[in-house]
């Protein structure tokens, strides 16, 4: 998942990010090396926070994390916003006739101070969110939303943008410049630039209220994750757990100063392994309920009332902006184009996924009864992973814990670097000359293997800790650009929540975690590969249901023999993973896809249906329960992200009515990987070159559908996905011949997050 910035930035996409209305996906602040023209003289800044200073040092400048003080965020943000507004007003009130250079390019150059401050503010929000920072975030969220509106609702500024958009001279600009003009114009229109004064004021009020609600939602989930743990009191409570998980639980107990044999934290990285291996059914149920009830426990941290308000405000805003529902607003500028097209894809896959899930449950019940379970035994949600693992072992002679012994976190990271070298010609060199915001964070310089030229920096923050969002995601601290002849390199990060084990021992991760690691690294490579002029169009700043495509695609390289033979090494013997074990992994590759696909689709369908419901007052728990029942949701599992903790959808507008995009993107990814397998294999040089040229380097400078066709030679098909997941194609084609906008020929338009 690409992480959504919480604040606006100097880039147009950043201005709209708080609203979730930007054309590009998860627009991360892009940063230039030079200082923006400032309305505040340098001498007047002498006593202002270090956060306002241009980034100094090597590598084109880096964030001064060692000088950050939480108390400085508010004054720094306020000063940077004031400076940026002065720059915008200067552009809007320029007496010269509007041109690309004095309007569109000038906007690209503005707001550099705010961009730098916002980047660091977003890092603290996602990774170091303590009580002091939460107080600042609560106060600043509405102010940042109001700031964005002051730009998008600036009538004089929009008049100039519109003039450039309609000018005959614009057709003589470069294709990238024409694309930037179009993106800017349409973003302002979708944010309400053409509304009357009364409607603009109401939209702005809604945006500010939503910003506060989003912050409250996130803080409630974070509080439930931080405050709730499962304490393992006796050795019996450790029953079934592998050594690595026991060690991690013991370490966590020590870190949290809890007198117990172990502690399981309330995050997916801790809960999922516990549910998979613990033979204590009562404790599994406690762990499952603790995790699935985040934000849904009543009291101060309950999110249900917030969700009701968020949905009503979104519906009202969509109406003001001229859209039937929030879902129609959000999908207007995506590959899917309409909620109906996204729903069609999900419904195509839902029935075969549920049918497969029923088969999986039947297998589990048979095994459970064989082991002595009573005749009326029922697989409950807290049993699913436990019995699925037993079936996997019985059917494929595949024990996830056996696989895990070959998946060392550091070795998997080296494997990712090697893949990046083969496909993208990148080399990763560790550096220690840059400050970091936490001792766990490590940094690598990324170079072109052939020329040695620096491409950017990659920060890696792998471990869970209090105050850090759960899951996994990618951020860009600085976007690549080359405006005004100045080559600016990017700075990107990957963030995970692995649990530390015994000091000095390697951290062992599951196959699923390794897949997620490659997924997020795919986002990083997308950002690192960027080769465009304008930062608004740079890197991962592409439409919602396209941005997950490069990351979903990179997951496929984990299972290649080249990676497994070189980097899947036993943590004790150093021996590579045996070929027989790899064969069993491959044979079981579509195992449990019914569960995985159904839990994802349940979340995606609830997300879309919530936002297609319009302005009705919704009780989230009731809506979730009744909608899942109408869909025929299996009772043995729950949504991957239940509504009260669905941060993708309710901590910002980021993935709202857009969680389907993971499925849309994986259709592209499965089809794209087929291009490699149909050619010379996963490392085919010619296919990799086409992929880099048409997907990874171009950012949002070309229409994504056109870029995909240039790579693949045709529109994508759903066939590869259905084959990959072991689902029958007959179900997928039941809707008849696909037409424009339908997923089997994905048209002109599942983090993160984390998925």
User: Tokens 């507004």, residue?
Assistant: 85
pLDDT of residue 3: 52
DSSP three-state, residue 367? helix
Q: Please count the other Cβ atoms lying within 10 Å of the Cβ belonging to residue 133.
A: 16
Which DSSP string corresponds to 689-714? Answer: HHHIIIIIS-TTSS-HHHHHHHHHSS
Low-confidence stretches of the chain (pLDDT beneath 70): 1-48, 729-755
| CA nearest to 179, candidates 706, 704, 702, 707 | 702
The answer to whether the predicted template modeling score (pTM) of the entire model surpasses 0.75 is yes
Buried b or exposed e, range 640-664, using 16+ CB within 10 angstroms: bbbbbbbbbbbbbbbbbbbbbbbbb
Backbone angles phi, psi at 193, to 5 degrees: -65, -25
CA 708-714-720 angle, to 5 degrees, is 85
Token duo for residue 718: 């759903």
Catalytic residue at 285? no
Backbone angles phi, psi at 461, to 5 degrees: -120, 90
Q: Are 400 and 501 in contact (CB under 8 A)?
A: no
pLDDT of residue 49: 80
pLDDT of residue 470: 86
pLDDT of residue 67: 96
Summarize pLDDT for 479-507 with one digit per residue, the tens: 999 999 999 999 999 999 998 878 889 99
> Which of 520, 555, 624, 636 is an active site residue?
520
DSSP code of residue 100:
I
Average pLDDT of the chain is 90
CA distance 37 to 102: 14
């Amino acid at each position: 998942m690409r992480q959504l910035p919480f604040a606006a930035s100097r880039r147009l996409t950043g201005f709209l990010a708080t609203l979730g209305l930007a054309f590009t996906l998860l627009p991360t602040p892009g940063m230039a090396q030079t200082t923006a023209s400032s309305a505040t003289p340098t001498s007047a800044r002498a006593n202002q926070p270090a956060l306002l200073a241009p980034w100094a040092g090597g590598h084109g400048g880096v964030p001064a994390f060692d000088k950050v003080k939480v108390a400085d965020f508010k004054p720094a943000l306020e000063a940077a916003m004031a400076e940026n507004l002065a720059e915008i007003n200067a552009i809007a009130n320029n007496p010269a006739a509007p041109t690309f250079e004095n309007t569109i390019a000038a906007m690209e150059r503005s707001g550099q101070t705010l961009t730098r401050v916002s980047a660091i503010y977003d890092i603290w929000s996602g990774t170091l969110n303590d009580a002091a920072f939460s107080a600042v975030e609560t106060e600043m969220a509405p102010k940042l939303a109001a700031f964005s509106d002051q730009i998008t609702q600036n009538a004089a500024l929009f008049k100039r943008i519109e003039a450039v958009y309609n000018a005959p001279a614009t057709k003589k600009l470069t294709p990238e410049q024409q694309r930037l003009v179009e993106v800017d114009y349409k973003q302002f229109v979708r944010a309400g630039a053409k509304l009357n004064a009364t409607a603009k004021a109401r939209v702005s009020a809604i945006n500010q209220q939503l910003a506060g609600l989003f912050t409250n939602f996130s803080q409630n989930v974070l509080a439930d994750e931080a405050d709730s743990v499962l304490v393992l009191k006796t050795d019996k409570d450790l029953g079934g757990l592998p050594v690595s998980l026991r060690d991690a639980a013991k370490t966590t107990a020590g870190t949290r100063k809890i007198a117990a044999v172990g502690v399981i934290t309330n995050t997916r990285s801790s809960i999922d392994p516990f549910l998979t291996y613990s033979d204590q059914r009562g404790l599994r149920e406690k762990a499952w309920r603790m995790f699935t009830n985040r934000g849904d426990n009543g009291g101060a941290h309950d999110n249900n009332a917030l969700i009701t308000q968020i949905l009503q405000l979104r519906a009202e805003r969509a109406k003001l902006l001229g859209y039937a529902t929030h879902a129609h607003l959000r999908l207007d500028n995506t590959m899917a184009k309409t909620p109906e097209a996204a729903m069609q894809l999900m419904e195509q896959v839902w029935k075969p996924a549920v049918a497969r899930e029923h088969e999986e449950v039947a297998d589990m019940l048979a095994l459970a009864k064989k082991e002595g379970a009573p005749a009326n035994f029922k697989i409950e949600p807290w049993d699913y992973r436990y019995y699925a693992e037993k079936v996997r072992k019985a059917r494929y002679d595949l024990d996830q814990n056996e696989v895990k012994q070959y998946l060392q976190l550091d070795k998997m990271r080296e494997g990712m670097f090697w893949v990046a070298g083969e496909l993208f010609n990148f080399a990763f060199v560790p550096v220690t000359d840059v400050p970091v915001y936490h001792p766990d964070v490590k940094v690598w310089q990324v170079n072109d293997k052939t020329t040695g030229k620096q491409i950017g920096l990659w920060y890696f923050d792998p471990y869970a800790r209090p105050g850090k969002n759960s899951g996994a995601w990618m951020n860009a601290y600085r976007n690549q650009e080359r405006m005004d002849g100045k080559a600016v390199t990017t700075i990107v990060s990957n963030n995970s929540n692995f649990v530390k084990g015994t000091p000095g021992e390697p951290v062992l991760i599951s196959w699923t975690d390794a897949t997620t690691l490659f997924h997020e690294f795919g986002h990083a490579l997308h950002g690192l590969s960027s080769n465009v002029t304008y930062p608004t169009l740079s890197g991962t700043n592409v439409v919602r249901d396209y941005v997950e495509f490069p990351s979903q695609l990179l997951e496929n390289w984990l299972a290649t023999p080249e990676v497994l033979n070189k980097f899947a090494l036993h943590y004790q013997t150093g021996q590579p993973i045996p070929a027989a074990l790899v064969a069993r992994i491959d044979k079981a590759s579509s195992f449990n896809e019914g569960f995985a696909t159904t839990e994802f689709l349940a979340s995606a369908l609830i997300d879309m249906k919530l936002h297609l419901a319009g302005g009705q007052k919704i009780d989230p728990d009731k809506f979730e329960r009744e909608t899942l029942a109408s869909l025929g949701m299996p009772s043995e599992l729950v949504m991957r992200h239940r509504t009260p903790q669905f941060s993708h959808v309710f901590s910002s507008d980021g993935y709202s009515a857009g969680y389907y995009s993971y499925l849309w993107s994986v259709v592209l990814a499965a089809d794209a990987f087929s291009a490699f397998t149909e050619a010379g294999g996963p490392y085919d040089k010619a296919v990799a070159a086409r992929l880099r040229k048409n997907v990874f380097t171009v950012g949002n400078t070309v229409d994504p559908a056109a870029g995909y066709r240039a790579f693949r030679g045709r529109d994508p098909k759903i066939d590869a996905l259905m084959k990959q997941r072991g689902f029958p194609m007959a179900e997928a084609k039941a809707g008849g011949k696909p037409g424009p906008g339908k997923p089997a020929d994905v048209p002109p338009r599942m983090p993160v997050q984390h998925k």
